[in-house]
Amino acid sequence: MKKIKVGLIGCGVISDIYLKNCRSFEHLEVVAVADLEQVRAEQKSKEYGIPFVLSVDELIHHEEIDIVLNLTPPGGHYALCLQALNAGKHVYVEKPLSVSLEEGKALIETASKKGLLIGAAPDTLLGAGLQTCRALIEEGAIGQPVSATAFMLKRGPEHWHPNPAFFYEAGGGPMYDMGPYYLTAFISLMGSVKRVTASAGIPFLERTIMTGEDQGKKIPVHTPTHISGNVEFESGAIGTIITSFDVQATQTPFIEIYGTEGTISVPDPNTFDGPVLLNRKGSDEWVEQELVSDAVENLRGLGITDMADALLNGRPHLASGDLAYHVLEIMHGFHESSSLGKHYEMHSSYSRPAVVKQTLISGGNER
């Protein structure tokens, strides 16, 4: 079977789950790793049996590599993705697609011009949980969706991350860090967004690192850490999302979809599994639903193996650049709406693809 060969840039914490999963997906082979700290790349190469440890430039231009997997912090997404596209490589990047809307648009346009694929995390929309919610909505289990809510409320990452400064720079904050999971779920379940509005704030101008070698160090905050946004879907439904690094505790649900005939309680969109709960009109009972697939583990990398399958079979891929750009524009729109005090009219739109193939989920046999 033909393998699509991948070069991974950025050997930080998130790289482990990608490297573990990618070697079990039947269409993929990671052949090279690169990192600004070469010792980290060498450690990953040894641990996962990867043939080449290269510089970033060498990896991007390596003739065997088909897809560049960019796992660098958000500030490095645009430049490296653009370099890879210009080198003729397909690209898959961690969320968000880019820090700025202009950069994200440039990546989409460059990929289109060169006939290349660009995709981005999150790929949790391909998991059993969100696919089950999608199936329930399409079969009419809650009637016509009319509204939705999403909440990502927690303490800041300085409580657990040893190097949290980038979370508080441009392109960080709870919306750019965690919003892509929730907004991708919104779009995959409810469709394209036409207009947004929001209020955003920075309650604390600095944070104190609570763990690691820099424990006790103060870091400045340069981006909003509490964002409350409303989205108007093209269908006419209305959604509300709140993301925050300023909440000590909460009992709010992750996501709920409200329809004319019932409500779906959507599982954590940062995971692939359930539970999915359904409450039908006229009932006080929440009923857990059987999941539609076995994609319930931490399957990060499912989006890139779908891209590989798409390349081999000449079809559109699912965790696409168009989806990631629509999410990016929503997040950009929230911040602009808050700054200007008015609605933001969306310029992009997104057409949802069909549900994920079961064969894609079950591919590979070493998990």
Tens of pLDDT, residue by residue over 5-45, are 999 999 998 999 999 999 889 889 999 999 999 999 999 99
Q: What is the pLDDT of residue 353?
A: 77
Sorted by sequence, the CB contacts under 8 Å of residue 132 that are 6+ apart come out as 274, 276, 289, 290, 291, 292, 293
State mean pLDDT over 292-307.
94
Average pLDDT, the chain: 94
What CATH number does domain 125-288 carry, 3.30.930.10, 3.20.80.10, 3.30.360.10, 3.30.590.10?
A: 3.30.360.10
pLDDT tens-place string over residues 252-294: 999 999 999 999 999 999 999 999 999 999 999 999 999 999 9
Confidence of residue 365 (pLDDT cuts 50, 70, 90): very low
Task: State the CATH architecture for 4-120.
Answer: 3-Layer(aba) Sandwich (3.40)
Query: Tokens 């539970």, residue?
Result: 275
Q: What is the pLDDT of residue 163?
A: 87
State mean pLDDT over 307-330.
95
Beta bridge partners of 256: 149, 265
Lowest mean pLDDT among 88-97, 119-128, 164-173, 325-334: 164-173
State mean pLDDT over 310-339.
96
Strand 206-208 to 218-220 pairing: antiparallel
Q: State what percent of residues in the chain have pLDDT above 90.
A: 90
Look at residue 367 and tell me whether its pLDDT is greater than 50.
Answer: no
Q: Where are the chain's structural domains? A: 4-120, 125-288
Look at residue 250 and tell me whether its pLDDT is greater than 70.
Answer: yes
CB-CB contact of 68 with 9 (8 Å): yes
Distance of alpha carbon 123 from alpha carbon 46, whole angstroms: 27
Q: Which two tokens stand for residue 289?
A: 């639903």
Distance of alpha carbon 51 from alpha carbon 49, whole angstroms: 6
Q: Report the 3 state secondary structure along the chain.
A: CCCEEEEEECCCCCHHHHHHHHCCCCCEEEEEEECCCHHHHHHHHHHHCCCEECCHHHHHCCCCCCEEEECCCHHHHHHHHHHHHHCCCEEEECCCCCCCHHHHHHHHHHHHHHCCCEEECCCHHHCHHHHHHHHHHHCCCCCCEEEEEEEEECECHHHCCCCHHHHHCCCCHHHHHHHHHHHHHHHHHHCCEEEEEEEEECCCCEEECCCCCCCCCEEECCCCCEEEEEEEECCCCEEEEEEECECCCCCCCCEEEEECCEEEEECCCCCCCCCCEEEECCCCCCEECCCCCCCCCCCCCHHHHHHHHHHHHCCCCCCEHHHHHHHHHHHHHHHHHHHHCCCEECCCCCCCCCCCCHHHHHCCCCC
Instruction: Beginning with the edge strand found earlier in the chain, give each strand of the sheet holding 193-201 in spatial order.
Output: 287-288, 277-280, 262-266, 255-259, 145-153, 238-244, 226-233, 193-201, 344-345
Look at residue 246 and tell me whether its pLDDT is greater than 90.
Answer: yes
Q: What is the pLDDT of residue 162?
A: 86
Confidence of residue 66 (pLDDT cuts 50, 70, 90): very high
Confidence of residue 366 (pLDDT cuts 50, 70, 90): very low
The maximal CA–CA distance of the chain, rounded, in angstroms, is: 62
Q: What is the pLDDT of residue 345?
A: 98
Q: What is the pLDDT of residue 352?
A: 84
Lowest mean pLDDT among 30-34, 71-75, 200-204: 71-75
